[in-house]
Amino acid sequence: CDRVGDAKDLFDQMEQRDMVSWNTMISGFAFVGNMTEILKLLYRMREDDGFRPDQQTFGASLSVSGTMCDLEMGRMLHCQIA
């Protein structure tokens, strides 16, 4: 978990982020099961950099909501898929 936190610190310092960097961070938090950070990143992805989540983004996010048995969260994420 500490390494994901270190990666996020570096990510936050980046001047320019792309879909690969966003998806890497979301996948990292998915790996450790941190849905709260995933939701924050999804919001920032749109608001800060104007990116729309793609299939990889939602794949990681939905896998965590499924593992956590959070069906409502899964439905909310699914509704955002373009």
Express each pLDDT in 42-56 by its tens digit. Answer: 889 999 999 988 888
The span from the CA of 68 to the CA of 3, in Å, is 22
Give the length of the chain.
82
Cα 22 from chain centroid (whole Å): 7
pLDDT for residue 78: 63
Q: What is the pTM of this model?
A: 0.79
HSE-up of residue 77 (Cα within 13 Å, Cβ side)? 26
